[in-house]
Amino acid sequence: MNRRGFLRGAAGAGLALGAGLPAIGGRLASAAAGPNLSRIEARYYVKRPDREIECRLCPRFCRLGDKERGYCGVRENIGGTYYTLVYGKVCSLNIDPIEKKPFYHVLPGTAALSLATAGCNVNCRFCQNWEISQVRPEQIESFDLAPEAAAARAAGSQCPSIAYTYSEPTVFFEYMYDTAVQAKRRGIRNVVVTGGHINPEPLADLLEVVDAVKVDLKGFSEAFYAEYVRGDLKPVLETIRAVAKSKAWLEIVYLVIPTLNDRMDGIRDMCRWINGEAGDSVPVHFTRFHPMYLVKNLPPTPVSTLEAAQRVALEEGLRFVYVGNVPGHGGENTNCPGCGREVISRVGYRVDAGRLKKGKCAICGTPIPGIWA
């Protein structure tokens, strides 16, 4: 089913996506106010006969006639030219701890200017930010924030990084890329929080201007992706491989959902794959699920399940494995793989990195990979 069919079916089922719900960092748009849309030509598409276009930004390869939009809902063919409707149209802007993304090996204890536009190129049934990711840009209030202004806002707020997050940054690629270029000129780092559903060419270009990528690996089977993500696993794995081979820092988050993706044999296979394809130093976060959006019939993940997943990952040779969404749990801390001592302590978003000296364990001198300055 395509996105249009899904949204039509959801409305028919009484879900009324986007209706009467508060936006993250904003409000639903008033019809009287009119839409605040950009009309900047998109990148990564080809023109076809009869004013058709084919989008090549993500693995969907949407082929669209005049006046049609892609699956993401934020890119439109207008007369045979493809446009992004959300360039510089920010619907959520916050200053967050970098650990909230979560990045545990990137500038610990600092704040990131975090921004998003509407839209997404998948439809996770358990999405935590669906109020902005699963609506069209006309359905939510946004405000103008040009790339230069975003970089200046980060500098003025003493944020050493900008995070492209909340929705799916791939769908606002042009804005993210140009903002990252402006941020780099000011010495501000750029971090991306993504589902990894992007094609190799735009990803390669993006990796030239960003410093770190956190990939949400939502499951480890094509069947799970088809039913619960409405996407494909293979492109996500290719994204992880590409980031691991690049100069950008990589972290991986796996949301553990009871009965859906919590089998330890599958998690073991995934950890073995990560070690073989991305290396043993990639931080892997096993995060606690809480019921929301279209999956409300399941309980929160038992902490014991997260702990079991962490043990499996360590058994498979991964060196930095974390338990997430359980504030105060010891699995939030970074331990030195050399001496086993605690190098970075975390209690929620309170961070103590005092035992990390110039990227090394202050006790035994073992290097701790990451971005520390």
Q: Are residues 159 and 283 in the same domain?
A: yes
pLDDT, mean of each 10-residue run, the chain (373 residues) = 39 30 45 77 98 98 98 98 98 97 98 98 97 96 97 98 98 98 98 98 98 98 98 98 98 98 98 98 98 96 98 98 96 97 95 96 98 96
Q: Tell whether 29 is covered by a domain.
A: no
Can you give the pLDDT at residue 14?
Answer: 30
Q: Answer yes or no: is 57 within a domain.
A: no
Q: Which residues of 108-144 are buried (b: 16+ CB within 10 A; e: fewer)?
A: bebbbbbbbbbbbbbbbbbbebbbbbbbbbbbbbbee
Per DSSP bridges, beta strands 249-256 and 284-288 are parallel
pLDDT tens readout for residues 282-295: 999 999 999 999 99
Q: Do residues 182 and 292 share a domain?
A: yes
Reported as a single tens digit per residue, the pLDDT across 295-308 is: 999 999 999 999 99
- 116 belongs to a structural domain: yes
**CA-based nearest residue to 269, from 301, 237, 243, 230:** 237
pTM for this one?
Answer: 0.91
Give yes or no for a contact between 214 and 102, defined as CB atoms under 8 angstroms apart. Answer: yes
Helix axes 264-278, 233-245, angle to 10 degrees: 40
Q: What is the pLDDT of residue 133?
A: 97
Structure tokens at 306: 């997260």
Asked whether the beta carbons of 108 and 353 are under 8 A apart, the reply is yes
pLDDT at position 27: 57
Residues 6+ apart with CB under 8 A from 1: 9, 230
pLDDT at 57: 98
Give the domain-ending residue among 279, 296, 322: 322
Same domain, 308 and 369: no
Range of the domain at 340: 333-373
